[in-house]
Chain A
Amino acid sequence: MQIFSTFEYSSYVELAISELEEKGIGKEDTFIVPINNRTETVGFLIAFIE
């Protein structure tokens, strides 16, 4: 199963991803794309494969 989700910037995003890594979802199963508007990063699209 794949999960797609978008998040605003937050240090909690990093915490959540490292929590998932602890539970066995590795770095190669997570893909993160920064979402930019013209000048700045507004958030991240994150895809997980379980």
Chain B
Amino acid sequence: MAKDVLNTRWLLIYIPVYIFAIWDSYRTTVDLNKIYVLAERENHRFNSFSIGAMEINYLDKRNPILSVFWSVLMPGLGQLYIHRIIGAFFVIIWAVVFFYYSHLLEGISLLFSGKIQQATSALDAEWLLFFPSLYGFAIFDSYMNTVENNKLVEREQKNFFEKMYQHPGFRIGKGKKVK
């Protein structure tokens, strides 16, 4: 049954694509981890503000739970919340395509009006199966990036305070404690 639905016109392309994706993402992750350790040890600078044609972007504390909430409501909104707009539009556009071709929203509407048989037959399983990975990615990605951004935000403020507000002439005076 599963063998019958394979299309040999496309099938072989999966071999190089999958092998490359696995190999390259592993290699890049290991490399980035090395660079991360070095950058953190030397306290390397990073951007905290940028104005471009696409967006005004800045580091700011955001709530990871809200990222998850928006991603669950609609994949892509979590990315939009943390101003990762290219990722946001990538996910939103694909979500719309998958919603449309899977007939999932029709299915839900029919389910609410009690037409369970019709709801089941309205669905297109081939498209529906994209949703677990789409939701999984949208939720994980927005949550993880919110947490990591927050670390950068704290580090940025720490660096700023240490640079600007640690004057060597500052003395702590002895005296009476006032309430």
The answer to whether A binds B is yes
Task: Tell me the bound Cα distance from A32 to B161 in angstroms.
Answer: 6
Total contacting residues, chain B, CB less than 8 A: 21
Q: Which residues of A contact B164 (CB under 8 A)?
A: 27
Say which residue of A2, A9, A31, A46 sits within 8 Å of B157 (CB atoms): A9
Q: How far is the CA of A27 from the CA of B161 in the complex (A)?
A: 10
Chain B hits for A32, CB < 8 A: 161-162, 165-166
Which chain B residues (150-179) contact chain A, with CB distance < 8 Å?
Answer: 151, 153-155, 157-158, 160-162, 164-167, 169-170, 172-173, 175, 178
Complex CA distance for A11 and B170, rounded to whole angstroms: 24
**Minimal beta-carbon separation of A4 from chain B (angstroms):** 9
Please state if A41 and B172 are interface contacts (CB–CB under 8 Å): no
Interface residues on A, range: 20 to 34
**A49 to chain B: closest CB distance in Å?**
8
Question: Complex formed: what's the CA distance from A33 to B148 in Å?
Answer: 23
Chain B contacts of A28 at CB under 8 A?
167, 169-170
CA distance A35 to B173 in the complex (A): 21
A29 to B175 Cα, complex, angstroms? 17
What's the Cα separation between A27 and B160 when bound, in Å?
Answer: 12
Min distance, Cβ B50 to any Cβ of chain A, angstroms: 17
* Complex: chain B residue closest to A3, CB-CB: B178
- Nearest A-chain residue to B173, judged by Cβ: A2
Partner of A27, one of B151, B153, B155, B167: B167
Contact B162 A40 (CB under 8 A): no
Does any Cβ of A come within 8 Å of B60's Cβ? Answer: yes
Knowing A1-B178, A2-B172, A2-B173, the reply to whether A30 touches B157 (Cβ < 8 A) is no
Q: Which residues of A contact B (CB under 8 A)?
A: 1-2, 9-11, 13-14, 17, 27-34, 40-41, 44, 46-47, 49
B interface list, Cβ under 8 A from A? 60-61, 151, 153-155, 157-158, 160-162, 164-167, 169-170, 172-173, 175, 178
Q: Can you list the 4 inter-chain pairs with the closest CB atoms, starting with the nearest? A: A32-B165, A28-B167, A32-B161, A31-B170
